Amino acid sequence: MPRFQGSIFDVDGVLVDSPHEKAWRESLRELMESSWRDIRDRTTWSPDAFTSHVYQQYVSGKPRMSGARAALDYFGVPDAENRAVQYARLKQELVVRLIQAGDFTAYPDALRFVIATKDAGMLIADASSSKNAGLFLRQIRLDTFAQENGISSPTLRPGLTLLDYFDADVSGRDFAHGKPDPEIFLTAAHELGVEPRYAFVIEDASAGASARRSRFPARTCRAGSGAGTIQRFSTTTRPR
């Protein structure tokens, strides 16, 4: 039976510790303490209520508008559908400022794993719902990372960014169905020219993990947000 032929990576929480969670939390706080002050008492929101668990369970992995609506629904914000537009816009403005300021970290173990999968002969793709994924991936220099960490690989070249390294980039596209629908991962597999049963997905968010399980039967790692480590996977593992 063939070995895995393709690997598909989420970005936020898998490859980078991004400021998305911070941006969602702080932009909602800004609204609740300013223009939305009059509805604050009609919600369950408080400065400490937007926890990492809430972000991971309800917001992470979803397209921007879906994430905004999910957060507002969770806190019982009135007229959530209309208010989501303002919330999503404010969050986007903040996250871009944070990314441009370098307020994110690439997970070293994740970068090593990406290089290892490609060195093992697999095709690789990034598949994030975030339209900001390219901003992160363009700033990560794999050649510099490899040099600083003593990594030698025939797949690396001078000036190579993480975005350049992927064989397919499907992040930030507008799909008919967002996660937990598997459309984004199926598209990535298609553009790699790999059958889903011969690809594996690495995802941290609940929505993304559900999307993977529905159509990708092969063993899949779950990278905990903030962990910086991808565990229990060998590039010699064969699909079931």
pLDDT of residue 209: 52
- 8 A C-beta contact, residue 208 and residue 91: no
- The gap from C-alpha 68 to its chain's centroid, in whole angstroms, comes to 16
Q: Strand 199-202 relative to strand 105-106: parallel, antiparallel, unpaired?
A: unpaired
Give the separation between CA 195 and CA 221, rounded to whole angstroms. 18
- H-helix or E-strand spanning residue 158: none
The tens-digit pLDDT sequence of the chain (240 residues) is 458 999 999 999 899 998 999 999 999 999 999 999 999 999 999 999 999 999 989 998 888 999 999 999 999 999 999 999 999 999 999 999 999 898 999 999 999 999 999 999 999 999 998 899 999 999 999 999 999 999 999 999 999 999 999 999 999 999 998 878 889 999 999 999 999 989 999 988 554 455 445 555 544 444 444 333 333 333 333 444
pLDDT of residue 178: 81
Q: Tokens 């996250």 — which residue?
A: 95
The amino acid sitting at 10 is D
Half-sphere exposure of 94 (CA within 13 A, CB side): 20
Prior bond to 180 cis, omega within 30? Answer: yes
Give the separation between CA 44 and CA 64, rounded to whole angstroms. 22
Residues 6+ away with beta carbon under 8 Å from 149: 108, 112
Give the separation between CA 135 and CA 129, rounded to whole angstroms. 13
Residues 6+ away with beta carbon under 8 Å from 127: 8, 9, 10, 170, 171, 184, 185, 187, 188, 201
Q: Which residues pair with 123 in a beta bridge?
A: 6
Give the separation between CA 130 and CA 156, rounded to whole angstroms. 26
- 8 A C-beta contact, residue 43 and residue 77: yes
DSSP three-state, residue 105: strand
Give the separation between CA 220 and CA 134, rounded to whole angstroms. 24
3-class SS string, 107-134: CHHHHHHHHHHHHCCCEEEECCCCCCHH
Model's pTM, two decimal places?
A: 0.77
Give the separation between CA 206 and CA 239, rounded to whole angstroms. 22
**Total Cβ atoms within 10 A of residue 86:** 14
- For residue 57 the two structure tokens come to 């369970």
